[in-house]
Chain A
Amino acid sequence: MTARSEQTTVSSGTLTYAAMLAPALILMSVFVFVPVVLVLYGSLFQFSLTDRQWDFAGFGNYARAFSDPIFWVALRNNLIIVIGSIVLQVGFGTILAAMLDRGITVGGTLMRTIIFAPMVISSVAVGLIWLIILDPNVGPMNVLVSAIGIAPPRLGWLGDPAFSIWVVLGVAAWQYTGFMMVLILAGLQAVPKELYQAAALDGATGLRAFRYITLPAIRNILIVAVLITTVGGFKVFDLIFVMTKGGPANATQVLGTYIYLQAFTLGNSGYANAISAVLLVIAVALGWLQLRTSRKA
């Protein structure tokens, strides 16, 4: 009797659990997993979104990408943003967080709030604000720079192909350094204060304490911060779309904007899928790394 009722609860339980999982799995299948399969499948064809006709192209789209200089420019720009953002956002984020954690007592919350605030502004708005600040004709940046005796770039801050990607990098740092700071600050606050006291007895204070106590204690958080920044650097789209549209002369193209351009402006959807597949491989590899670090933590 008890055994049988146990049996029925188990199977009815399984059914309930399956029903509870179903909405999540259905939504994710339709909008995440099926699209992934379709990207890989579609990358083997030549087609545009309005075509009924798909022409099989084998690995032609991939061959095309690897011999397309703009694809390499886009990939290089992603790498510039990734490495630059790690240096600027994680680097300065760590410094700011350490200062707020150890040295700053008065006004700490206020400054933390200000530095974090751009995180809640949409990148589109951030891009538009900076577009006006950097405007070559009447933007205040030119006025400011001229006032301290430096000549502003002749083609404009965003008009010079050699220069523009670095300006975008700077704006991204303006927006996201506060996020990294807060992330790292949360890790710092978990470091027991007794550690610092013990170290101070041994003569380790200031920078030495930072080097030998703070850094090792937040090692895992730093790894996560670097991974988040790396993923973000490969996903960057909004800022560039708004500020430069990938220009001038494709100099600020990144994978995201190049996929968009090929698929929705030029009508090369198969080719766009091949570039997307490259982005997917990178993203999945980084995701796997992230999973491994969080497991260890």
Chain B
Amino acid sequence: MDNRRLNATTLVLYGFVGLWSLVVLIPIVFMFMTSMKTRNSMFMRPLDLPESLNFQAFERAWGVGIGQFMVNSVLVTFLSVALIVVISGLAAYALTRMQGGWSKLTYLLIVAGFAIPMQAVLVPLFQIISGAGMLNSRLALVLPYAAYGIPFTVILFYAFFLDFPRELEEAARLDGCTRFQTFMRIILPLSGPAIASAAIFQSVFIWNEFILALLILTQPDLKTLPVGILELQGEFTADWPAVMAGLSLATLPLLLVFVLAQKYFVRSLAGLGK
């Protein structure tokens, strides 16, 4: 009796989680499937499997410049994340080692930045960037992305540095390292887990950031993926296989990285709950 009830419960659990997984999976599979179809079979039988592996849609989509968008996204994401890690690391270290009220006040100021969404300051952001003559430049994305990534990363590093063993630092200072050298040679190299966590978290958001990139980048050769793939829609009005092929190309890299390193992704993003 007890055994049977247990089985029914298990069935419900697996049924529910399995069903949800399917609902999530099907649109993604549909995207990959459609990109291997011909335009005709797409319209006649949208739900059927592709008759054969057909990569022409990928060629058409690649022609829009997906390759260039990807390079741009990699550059912007890498530069922004590197900047965020170094700048936030320096700031958090100073905040944990400074004495007195100023450090607390500065920490609160930086944390307050966490509450400000980019969407709410779009007009002045645009004014500042265009006023500086920086429209259509990668730097005009990298610097604001860094600025908006700093607060959360400082919070994360702050907690990590507070627990950092002071003996190591004192030894380094005795050996004649300045505070800055101590940070670069001792603290940063030993902060691997915190850095990885921050870098993954920020990468996901910056790689997918849309609204600022949409405003700043009008030049096709500078566009990042989220802005670039929007062109697929206009370019191939009725050519769904090409749109889906473009989307597959755009989403595959991060999906692959995610599947391979999902443990780290999950740990990093779940850190937001702390």
Q: Which A residues form the contact surface with B (CB < 8 A)?
A: 13-14, 16-21, 23-25, 27-28, 30-36, 38-39, 42, 49, 92, 95-96, 99-100, 103-104, 110-125, 128-133, 138-140, 143-144, 174, 177-179, 182-187, 206, 221, 224-225, 228, 231, 234-235, 237-238, 241-242, 255-256, 259-260, 263-264, 269, 272-273, 276-277, 279-280, 283-284, 286-288, 290-291, 294, 297
Contact = CB atoms under 8 A, between A and B. Distances in A.
B13 A104 contact: yes
Contacts of B255: 117, 120-121
A179 B269 contact: yes
Interface residues of B, number: 97
Contacts of A119: 204, 269
Give the dominant DSSP class at A's interface. Answer: helix
18 contacts: A14-B98, A19-B180, A34-B124, A36-B116, A49-B127, A99-B17, A104-B14, A116-B262, A128-B247, A182-B269, A185-B270, A187-B273, A234-B117, A238-B210, A259-B122, A272-B123, A283-B115, A287-B112
B10 interface: yes
Given A39-B124, A104-B13, A125 B113 contact: no
Interface string B20-46: 110111011011001000000011001
Contacts of B24: 114-115, 117-118, 174, 178
Contacts of A235: 117, 119
Most-contacted residue by chain A among B119, B254, B266 (CB, 10 A): B119
Given A128-B232, A284-B116, A144 B90 contact: no
Given A235-B119, A279-B119, 19 more contacts: A24-B90, A32-B147, A36-B116, A38-B124, A39-B123, A42-B124, A116-B265, A117-B255, A119-B204, A119-B269, A122-B208, A124-B227, A125-B251, A132-B244, A140-B46, A224-B272, A280-B121, A283-B116, A286-B115
A115 B21 contact: yes
B54 interface: no
B148 interface: yes
B121 A238 contact: no
Give the dominant DSSP class at B's interface. Answer: helix
B147 A27 contact: yes
B86 to A, nearest CB: 8
A128 B25 contact: no
B82 interface: no
Given A132-B34, A132-B244, A279 B117 contact: yes
A58 to B, nearest CB: 18
Given A32-B147, A128-B247, A23 B124 contact: no
A123 B250 CA distance: 12
Nearest to A132: B240
Contacts of B130: 49
Contacts of A280: 116, 120-121
Contact of A42 (B123, B154, B230): B123
Interface of B: 9-10, 13-14, 16-18, 20-21, 23-25, 27-28, 30-31, 34, 42-43, 46-47, 87-88, 90-91, 93-95, 97-98, 106, 109-117, 119-128, 130, 143-144, 146-148, 150-151, 154, 178-180, 183, 204, 207-208, 210-211, 214-215, 225-227, 229-230, 232-233, 240, 243-244, 247, 250-251, 254-255, 257-259, 262, 265-267, 269-270, 272-274
B128 A34 contact: yes
Contact of B258 (A96, A120, A260, A291): A120
B258 A21 contact: no
**Ranked 7 nearest A-B pairs via Cβ:** A287-B115, A38-B124, A35-B121, A31-B147, A122-B208, A186-B270, A24-B91
Given A99-B16, A125-B251, A31 B115 contact: no
